[in-house]
Structures are given as C-alpha cells and as structure tokens.
Amino acid sequence: MNEIFHLRPLAALMAAMLAAVVSAAAAETVAGTGDWIQAEVDRNPGRMIFLPAGDHAVSAPIRLRTDWSGLWGPGRIIGTNPEAALIEIDGVAGVQVRDLTLTRSEGRRETRRATIAVTRSREVVLSNLRVREHWTSRSTIEAQECVGIQVRDCLIENYCRIDIDDRRRTDRHKDYENYGYAFTCIAGNGLMISNSTGGVVTGNRIIERRLLPTPELQARYRLGKFVGKDPEKGRIVSQKTWDEEYVNNWNQSRAMGVTSPEFTSGAQIIGNYFENAGQGTDLHADHVILAQNIVNNSHIGMKAMHGSRNVLILGNQFVKSDLWSVGLMPGTSSHAARPGTDRRAAANVDGYSIVAHNVVADFGRGNAGWIWQGTPERAPFRFDRAPLPHNPPLRNVVVSGNVIEDTERDRGSAGFPARYRRPVRVAAGAGAPEDLLFADNVFEPGAESAAPADR
C-alpha cells in the first residue's frame, strides 16, 4: 500500500511534465507571434501558462481575467504597439507572472502606457521579471485599487522618456491652480502603487541608464522651460520662477511611488536598489515601512508628504543624493478632519513617523549636483513647512541614530564641506514643523556651523 501511495503522485507528476513538454514544443513552432498566448490563457482558466524560450511579439495586451491564472517561463514578450500595455490583470485574485522578460520593439519603445497594469485585484505576485526599455510617461509596473500585491526580485531598466508636465488648471485638475504652468521634463516611474493596501515591494532593482540629468541633455530638450502657462500665477509659485519661465525640478522620474494618501496604506518597501532616478521613493501613504534600501545617485532619496503618517524610514543608504536624502513635509493635499462620513472626511496629516539608522554618503556628488548648487533648501535631511494656510504642519517625528559621511573629507579634499550648508534643514515661520526630536545622530556639519538643533 505504501509503494502504491508513493507511485501515484510520481505518475501524476510525470504525466504533467510530459504535457508541459508537448505544450512547450507546440508553442515553439509559433514563437515570433504571441497570438497563441491569449488563446492558451482563455482555454485554461485558472492555470499558469508556460512561455518557452524565444521571442513572442504582441500587439495587444495579454489579459489575465480568471483567479489563480498566470504566465511563467524563460520567454521574452515584445510589445509592438506603443498604445497598449503588454499584460493587463483586472478584477482577479491570486494571479502570478514570473520569470519572463518584457520589452518593446526597436522604434516603438516610447509610450504612455504601463508594461504591466494591475487593477482591482488581490494577492497578485509579480516575481523575477526583467522589464527593459519601456520609455513611459506612466509606470512600467502600475497597480491601482489592489490588496496585497507583491513585486519581488524584478529588474526594471530604462523606463524614462522626455515629456511635458502640464500643471495648468483645468476642470479636472483644480489643484493645479497652485502651479499654472507646463514644462518639459524627464518623466516615468519604475513602479507605482496607488489606491491600494498591503503591498510588498522587495528585492527589486530599478535603474535608469539612458536619460541622465546632464547639462547636455538639459540643453538638448530645453528641460525645465515653460511651454505654456495660465493667465494668473499659481498660489505656491515664486514670482522669480513665473517671470523666468523655468523650473529646476525637471527630472520628475521616480524609481517607485506609493500614492493616494487618503486610501493607500500598509506598504512594505524593503531591500531594493534604486539608481539614477529623480526621486528614489515618493510616498503619499500611511503606515509605510521603508527599510534596508539603497538609493544611489538620485536628486531626492525619498520623500513623504501629502498626508503621509506613521512612516518608518529605517536602515536605508542614500548615496549621492543631490537635493535631499530624506524629506518629510506636508503637501497641498494634506488637511484636517472635515465634516462628513466618507474616507475624505478623516484627517490627512503628516508625521508621527520615525527616521532612524539611515546612512547618507557623498551628498551632492551625484549627476544632478550641478543643478542644485546654491539652493538654500538643499540638505541631507529636510523637514518643510505647510505650503498653504489650510494644510496642517508636519508633527511628531523622531530622528535618531542617523549618519552623514562625505568621503571627500576622509581623503582630505579641500572642497569639503561645500555640498550643503547644514546637515538638517527645518523650515521656520507659518506652518513650520512641530515637535521634532533629534537624538544620537552623527552628522558632518556642512559649510555653515551647525546649530545645536541641527544635530
């Protein structure tokens, strides 16, 4: 009986392996066109479809529409239509996409679509993917209205494009009355999670190697130059910016973002590597853990704003940040509690967070250092004021056990410490942060003498 008991699973396994080999062999005969993939997905609801080695060109998204379905294998999916995503996952649970390479064909890489778009789904897993050469104004991987999405051990490489950031007021974007202009920029996000809860992002590498913020690139595309503006200046725009028709924050790319602060919560961003982004991590969410990541050569290492509360920023390394490494601040979306019963009635405030045991190295020595020379707001740690009177201030933040190091000083360079004035910048005046606690930090003093509060 015991021998029969063990043989039956073995026989079933051998039959399954034979079926997979037959299916793979059949698929190889049509490698070069991806039409068979959707057909196989539709014929096998709730099953994982194997993509064999080889290139599989698709002109329409592969749609995963049943629970527990998915794609896996060594195959490479090549998008030929810049107006379409490569994979769409909508309204399902337990879907997995694993081990594949996803890219776009030569000459069709610039797009306004995501590579993988996940919406209204639960417990989706994206693992060990190689997502390369998707030059998008959106995000290569985009999750909206999801619960428990996991993005693990993926490589996202070259995701940016040149685009227009239009902040002129429209009926749809009333908040843009705060700005009132449009400008040329570097756009694109490696990974974006919005209106979602319980996401896990771990072990990923998100790297931009193509569009780097050099003076030559800025001149070639006139980056930061206005291409249009409203009749009246926005409420939070300086007169100098309005008159010069130029902004220096023209690298609007993000390695990853977690947004929709009045709904998004519970994200864990752990053990990733981000390189050459305008912003390493952009948080507009509550109850977030940002831990043990390395952010290399980005204008901004991370920021949390627009109502980000209960954020733990722990044990990260920020290397060659050029504007700031860690920034906490309210935004125009922050607000006190409002009358009503829907989710927007609750307070959307910033703070009650911990910044601990992070290392900042070689601040101001990245590719974008030339942009921010002499900028007063430039500092490794920045805690800013509320932009408008109705935005509540940042409150109750612990800053403990962090270290700033500049290797130029260790080498005896005469240029130290000109890359920042002070290690910490806490805004003063109306809407200034309240109840910040600094303890046991080791900070290089910067070009100016550090006041006790800065340490």
pLDDT tens digits, 165-193: 998 887 555 566 788 999 999 999 999 99
Tell me: pLDDT of 33 over 50: yes
Q: Which residues pair with 258 in a beta bridge?
A: 193, 283
Q: Which residue has the higher pLDDT, 285 or 452?
A: 285
Task: Evaluate whether 121 touches 97 at the Cβ level (below 8 Å).
Answer: no
| Measured distance CA(20)–CA(30) in Å, rounded | 16
What mean pLDDT comes out for the span 37-43?
Answer: 96
The fraction of the chain above a pLDDT of 90, given in percent, is: 73
Burial 334-365 (b: 16+ CB within 10 A, else e): bbeeeeeeeeeeeebbbbbbbbbbbbbbbbbb
Residue whose C-alpha is closest to residue 328's, from 344, 310, 316: 310
| Measured distance CA(360)–CA(340) in Å, rounded | 43
| Measured distance CA(352)–CA(395) in Å, rounded | 6
| Measured distance CA(267)–CA(260) in Å, rounded | 12
Residue 8: how many other CB atoms lie within 10 Å: 10
Q: Mind spelling out the 3-state secondary structure of 166-210?
A: ECCCCCCCHHHHHCCEEEEEEECEEEEEECCECCEEECCEEECCC
For 9, 72, 153, 318, 338, the CA distances from 302, given in Å and listed in that order, are: 50, 33, 21, 9, 29
| Measured distance CA(350)–CA(352) in Å, rounded | 7
Tell me: pLDDT of 124 over 90: yes
| Measured distance CA(378)–CA(365) in Å, rounded | 13
Reading the block at residue 54, the tokens are 């080889």
Task: Evaluate whether 307 touches 323 at the Cβ level (below 8 Å).
Answer: no
Tell me: pLDDT of 330 over 60: yes
Which residue's entry shows tokens 């309005």?
242
148: confidence class by pLDDT, cuts 50, 70, 90: very high
Reading the block at residue 317, the tokens are 């390394």
Amino acid symbol at 451 = A
* Burial class of residue 53 (count of CB atoms within 10 Å of its CB; 0-12, 13-18, 19+): exposed
| Measured distance CA(21)–CA(188) in Å, rounded | 39
| Measured distance CA(230)–CA(373) in Å, rounded | 29
| Measured distance CA(403)–CA(360) in Å, rounded | 6
What mean pLDDT comes out for the span 328-348?
Answer: 82
pLDDT at 347: 86
Architecture field, domain 2-454 = 3 Solenoid (2.160)
| Measured distance CA(75)–CA(132) in Å, rounded | 14
Tell me: pLDDT of 14 over 70: no
Amino acid symbol at 194 = S
Q: Which residues pair with 64 in a beta bridge?
A: 89
DSSP state of 343: G
pLDDT at 411: 57
| Measured distance CA(190)–CA(136) in Å, rounded | 9
Tell me: pLDDT of 2 over 50: no
| Measured distance CA(373)–CA(212) in Å, rounded | 18
Report the chain's terminal Cα–Cα distance, integer Å.
73
376 Cβ neighbours under 8 A, 6+ residues apart: 421
pLDDT at 13: 43
Per mean pLDDT, which range of 136-145, 222-231, 250-259, 446-455 is the poorest?
A: 446-455
